[in-house]
């Protein structure tokens, strides 16, 4: 798994490539912790369009991050391609809790319009 993050007003962007599973989840968690510590305001976009697989451990990282962001009145948007992760959120009813977008541009625009 490869995770890159950068600041791009009005948010912090994380781009994830590879499987979000028991092996990759600690890497994502570490990158998220580093990115969130520097984020002000706490608006985060997680681009998962290049993540073909996510297991329960990976999903747990996303849920705990969402809870943390919401605790501090921030927003987190997941950028998703059609496929496995979108389906996983639907069957677990987490699609009701996560804000999602089809593109990084759309996610940034949603955060900018709320600022």
User: Regarding the domain with residue range 2-114, which homologous superfamily does it belong to in the CATH classification?
Assistant: STAS domain (3.30.750.24)
Bridge partner list, 45: 13, 77
Asked if residue 29 lies in contact with residue 66, where contact means CB atoms within 8 angstroms, the answer is: no
Tell me how far apart the alpha carbons of residues 70 and 73 are, in angstroms, rounded to a whole number.
5
pLDDT values of the chain reduced to their tens digit, one per residue, 115 residues: 999 999 988 899 999 999 999 999 999 999 999 999 887 888 999 999 999 999 999 999 999 999 999 999 999 999 999 999 999 999 999 999 999 999 999 999 999 887 6
Rounded-to-integer distance, Cα 9 and Cα 3, Å: 19
pLDDT score at 100: 97
Domain boundaries, the chain: 2-114
Which of 54, 49, 55, 59 shows the shortest CA–CA distance to 107? 49
Note the pLDDT of residue 115: 62
């Amino acid at each position: 798994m490869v995770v890159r993050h950068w600041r791009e007003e009005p948010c912090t962007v994380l781009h994830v490539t590879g499987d979000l599973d028991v092996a990759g989840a600690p890497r994502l968690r570490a990158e998220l912790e580093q990115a969130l510590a520097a984020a002000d305001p706490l608006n985060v976009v997680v681009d998962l369009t290049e993540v073909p697989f996510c297991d329960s451990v990976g999903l747990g990282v996303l849920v705990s991050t969402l809870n943390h962001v919401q605790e501090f009145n921030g927003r987190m948007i997941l950028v998703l391609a059609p496929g496995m992760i979108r389906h996983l959120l639907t069957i677990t009813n987490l699609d009701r809790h996560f804000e999602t977008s089809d593109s990084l541009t759309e996610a940034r625009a949603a955060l900018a319009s709320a600022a």
